[in-house]
Amino acid sequence: MDTHHLLLKMYFRKILFFTSLLMLVYLFCDKTYSQSLSSSKALFFSTFLGGGSGELFVTDIDQLGFVMHPNGDIYICGATESNDFPVTPGTYQPNYAGGPSESFVARLDPTLSYLIASTYIGGSNEDCASSIVIDENGNICITGFTTSTDFPTTEGTYDQTYNDNEYGQGDIFISIFSPDLDELLASTFLGGSLSERFHHVRMAIDTNGNIIVTGGTLSGDFPVTPNAYSTTGGMDNANDVFISKLSEDLSELLSSTYFGGSAWEQVIDMIIDRDNNICICGNTGSPDFHATPNAYDPTFNGHSDAYISIFGNDLDTLLASTFIGGNHHDNAFSMDFDSTGNIYVCGFTDSNNFPYTSGAFDTSFNFGIYDGYAGLLDSKLENLIACTFLGSSDWDECRDILYDASSGDVFITGMAGGEDFPMTAHSYDTSFNGETDVYISRMSDDLSKLNASTFLGGYFYDFGLELIFSEDDNIIVAGNASSNDFPTTPGAYDESFNGNYDAFIAIMDKDLSAQYVGIYPSMDRHDENGLVLFQNFPNPFSHSTYISFQLPESSHVIIDIYGMFGKKIISLADNTFKAGRHVISWDGKDYSGKEVGKGIFVVNLTAGKEVRSKRMIIY
């Protein structure tokens, strides 16, 4: 070997040695940094979403739809009175159509930093969306009520004609959008000649892709199917529940039933069990409400009772139904299944004899205006396995409950009205902030222990309405805020309160101890109109990370991951993307599906002739 080649070989060995040493030092420092992040549970993002006139708390509506796309993007729907609600160019309906409120659908990236797409949908009168799901094709399905005779419908759907001709009080609408919210794929009315304008309309999709909606009706001619459980209802100004199943393209009403007693009923939540059975909950003022013989409580208890009812998928059979309540007013707002099919339920009550179970976290009514409660019933609704109060000496509500299969714990959010609402040490915020605060509480699966609990709010009225888990296993809460000092985070899509009531979305770790420490990825705002590859988030990461990029125009994009010494690990994208912001994820695995392990990696983006790169760290 000649001297030249020998010197070159020694030179590369030195480079390799010092590069490896640098990587080891970097990883050691990074591991220390990452451990400090992990010990402080430092993930927390929060953003407003709204215009100048108010969102969600309009026309007596205090419910929203909230769902996560498989790629990690967050969709939210609701109602707005704001003609300046943020919408994005190229979406289905960029303008407010008129009337007291308009429905909206919005899509944000997983870090709440970017509004990917947002659209109105509505007509010239009142429109209020309240539930959202994603179908197997990734399309976005919403439902709610409308009093707009010109609400947009599409050809070939079940009902393209507004039905409420006598009082103008509203029909149900069901609409399906493309994932980018730029195309209305299908849209239909559903209703009778009286009113379906009620506060809560909920939606779910069964394993066959059929769309199921539930709500309230006064119409004696609401469309029902011949073999339904009940084909009469909605008479004598008594609000009955309806449950309807439509085909996935909204062209056919497959089954539909009334449900209720001689007084009134309200349905508030609906979930589908592993056998495709349909579970609903709400409250009733009917002593003759349909409870089944072996139910936990077949007897009406007070002024109004909470209830849970389970129907077969064809809506021809009531499989189980029970009251839950005490001597006064009781309401059920949300349900979720545990890993065995038992049903968690939460709501609020002013009954001082509301049923609780021995060993529960709180067995005493707190003598506020309302107390929250959480309960667990078996899958046949025959036994109350656990039940606890959750509240302060003021007005408290449990509005959503979510079972965490990974830990076995249960998360609850809602509204806390008093500073003595139970908190835990080291949570994000242990101090009551205003008139009402959002709270998030984490309880053991048997509801005997409060494992974590935090406030979230500002000086005025703030409400937590729904919870979901993120793709990276954090907890996300959405609701509405009227506090202009409601906590948001630097780099969020909208850090400033817009007026009246705004929607909000916030993300924190499951220990509820989130403290923002400035680990938000660089936004490269100096180049916000050109090609941008944003820093991945989180970075460093241990299992998965999000990679976001911005295109000034439609381009063919290639995204590759390389190891420290230039070896290609995997290609994440090799296709055409539209102009705008996009987010993809990497699970830290190579082409073969094997985890690549700890180290420094490079993400390389090529769009046309331009190239961008960022360094990433797995610890």
Q: 209-244 pLDDT, tens per residue? A: 999 999 999 888 999 999 999 998 876 557 899 999
- Residue range 13-72, pLDDT digits in tens: 444 444 444 444 444 444 443 443 333 333 478 999 999 988 765 444 467 889 999 888
- What was the pLDDT predicted at 239? 86
Ranking 108-112, 163-167, 257-261, 499-503 by mean pLDDT, the lowest is 163-167
| The predicted structure's pLDDT at residue 2 | 54
3-state percent breakdown (helix, strand, coil) of the chain, nearest 5: 5, 40, 50
Q: Specify the CATH number for the domain of residue 571.
A: 2.60.40.1930
DSSP string, 99-134: SSBEEEEEEE-TTS--EEEEEEE--SSBEEEEEEEE
Report if residue 310 sits inside a domain: no
Residue 549 lies in a domain: yes
Instruction: Report the chain's mean pLDDT, rounded to a whole number.
Output: 87
Instruction: Please compute the mean of the pLDDT values over residues 261-272 and round it to a whole number.
Output: 94
Contact 109, 75 (CB under 8 A): no
Confidence of residue 99 (pLDDT cuts 50, 70, 90): confident
Output the pTM of the full model.
0.82
Evaluate whether 234 touches 219 at the Cβ level (below 8 Å): yes
In the predicted model, is pLDDT for residue 528 greater than 60?
no
Number of structural domains, the chain?
A: 1
Per-residue pLDDT, averaged over 441-452, amounts to 97
Q: What is the pLDDT of residue 29?
A: 43
557 within domain boundaries: yes
Would you say 561 and 602 are in contact if contact means Cβ atoms under 8 Å apart?
yes
For residue 199, the model assigns a pLDDT of 62
What is the C-alpha radius of gyration for the chain, rounded to an integer number of angstroms? 26
CA distance 603 to 348: 49
User: pLDDT band at residue 538, thresholds of 50, 70 and 90?
Assistant: confident
Q: What is the pLDDT of residue 393?
A: 92
pLDDT average, residue stretch 8-13? 43
Q: What band does 198 get if pLDDT is binned at 50, 70 and 90?
A: low
Q: Among 27-41, 57-71, 104-118, 251-265, which stretch is predicted with the lowest mean pLDDT?
A: 27-41
In a domain, 605, yes or no: yes
Whether 612 is covered by a domain: the verdict is yes
Residue 50 lies in a domain: no
Query: Domain for residue 606, yes or no?
Result: yes
Asked whether residue 559 is assigned to any structural domain, the reply reads yes
In angstroms, the CA 568 to CA 536 distance is 18
pLDDT at 500 over 90: no
What is the rounded average pLDDT of the residues 131-149?
Answer: 95
Q: CB-based burial of residue 604 (10 Å sphere; 0-12 exposed, 13-18 middle, 19+ buried)? A: middle
Question: In what side-by-side order are the strands of the sheet with 568-577?
Answer: 568-577, 555-562, 599-607, 610-618
How far is Cα 479 from Cα 55, in angstroms, rounded to an integer? 10
540 preceded by cis ω (within 30°)? yes
Residue with the larger pLDDT of the pair 371 and 61: 371
> Per-residue pLDDT for 132 more than 60?
yes
pLDDT tier at 523, thresholds 50, 70, 90: very low
Q: Which of 12-16, 56-60, 432-436, 584-588 tops mean pLDDT? A: 432-436
594: domain range? 529-619
